[in-house]
Amino acid sequence: MKFKPVEEQLAYLKKGVAEIIPEAELKAKLEASLKTGKPLRVYLGVDPTAPDLHLGHTVVLRKLKHFQDLGHTAVFLIGDFSAMIGDPTGVSETRPPLTREQVDANAGTYLAQVCKILDREKTEVRYNSEWLSKMSAEDIVRLCSHYRLARMLEREDFRSRLDEGQPISVHELLYPLLTAIDAVKLQSDVELGATEQKFNLLVHREIQREYGLPGQAILTMPVLVGLDGQRKMSKSLGNYIGITEPPSEIFGKMMSIPDELMWSYYELLTDRTPQEIVALKQEVGAGKLHPMDAKMRLAEEVISDFHGQAAAHKAAENFQRVFRDRQAPEEMQEIRLTRRSDGFLVTQTRDAALQVMSAFPKWPQLLKYLSQAESISEAARIVEQGGLEINGKIVKDPTAKLDTRVAASYEVRLGKKKFLRIIVE
């Protein structure tokens, strides 16, 4: 296979990378690949500990795709065995183990999501249960003999837990050693991971050598900061963007990030070159491009990767319509209210069970009954604060009622982002 010149490959691969360990070795591997025509084996291992991926996961996946774009072999390893152990990286206490059923269910969704980024036809997909579940007690004892306990306890996660008197289970010490067997079995030339995975990746490299293989090169990627602009993107922190979320939701979340954060998003979540990003940043700095417009371009590019350009463009148009032109979205949740012969209103929505209410409900009551607010008092508070708009007019009176004497349609905005159409029949 014909590869691009090494310097050109390196320039492409360095985009967004935190560290290359060691860079000279990666360059040598690329040079050897160029000379022999044999692609490098580059792998990323992911434990399926949750059913869905968010944008933070895609940062390293995109780097794997960059290697794939250059003609190298992308190996996506699903850690179905190691997920049951639990990676101790960054945790302050022993993780509760996952069951085989939980892991299998999560793994089942991973591949479809990953293939939104990687070319499935060119991706080698493996599961580490292929070899880890077959290891004998003798294999594990021999593996443990290749690494020193003192070095394992030097890692920051374990050291801080020891200092704080927190327990460390023996199986946690085994995690980086067992996953090092992944690198041995895959005979990888390069492994990718987040910066917080550096300790594990270095153990993998060292164990490869203990088993008679040349040590792999390592590329670490920065952790993606979440929507709050401060902490890493995480589902547990609620500051994440899921790649399977509807395009309109992804767009809205992307537009909520601090302006300064969008430049790292451009670097880590798009294929724009560093030169293009610098030029874009200069345009914003010079006042030639509004930050919101730059952010809208970013959101559209990110969404197109997972939902296609048409869906991304539609999400952008909807955002423009709702938040910049102050119009109602073309598509919104529709709720129909029917008045019975006894005068009571009845509705059955997708989000609420059958509801029966008085013929002239106050708006806070109606919003609660329609599952648009947690309580009547919360809905009343939203109304008093100017968060209820009906057919383009703000309603601040919590005692205002819905008039159901005639059939009518009401376009309702609740807060900044919730829209619904209420139809009285």
> According to the 3-state scheme, what is the secondary structure of 238-300?
CCCCECCCCHHHHHHHHHCCCHHHHHHHHHHHCCCCHHHHHHHHHHHHCCCCCHHHHHHHHHH
Poorest-pLDDT segment among 26-40, 109-123, 216-230: 109-123
**Block residue for tokens 């008679």:** 212
pLDDT band at 298 (very low <50, low <70, confident <90, very high): very high
pLDDT in tens, 103-141: 888 878 888 888 889 999 999 999 999 999 999 999 999
Q: Which two tokens stand for residue 165?
A: 């008197």
Residue 326: per-residue pLDDT: 59
Find, among 29, 31, 7, the residue nearest to 187 by Cα: 29
Prediction pTM value: 0.75
Could you say which DSSP state residue 423 is in?
Answer: E
CA distance 63 to 153: 30
- Beta bridge mates, 193: 220
* Residue 91 pLDDT exceeds 60: no
Residues 318, 251: contact at Cβ < 8 Å?
Answer: yes
Residue 135: per-residue pLDDT: 95
**What is the side-by-side order of every strand in the sheet holding 19-21?**
19-21, 217-221, 190-194, 41-46, 73-78, 123-127
When computed from its CA atoms, the radius of gyration of the chain, rounded to whole angstroms, is 27
In the chain, the domains with their CATH numbers are: 6-221 (3.40.50.620), 247-324 (1.10.240.10), 333-424 (3.10.290.10)
* Residue 14 pLDDT exceeds 80: yes
Find, among 412, 13, 403, the residue nearest to 218 by Cα: 13
Residue 133: per-residue pLDDT: 93
- Beta bridge mates, 126: 77
Mean pLDDT of the chain: 85
Residues 397, 372: contact at Cβ < 8 Å?
Answer: no
Portion of the chain with pLDDT greater than 90, in percent: 46
pLDDT in tens, 377-411: 888 888 888 878 777 788 788 788 777 666 677 77
Poorest-pLDDT segment among 147-156, 213-222, 331-340: 331-340
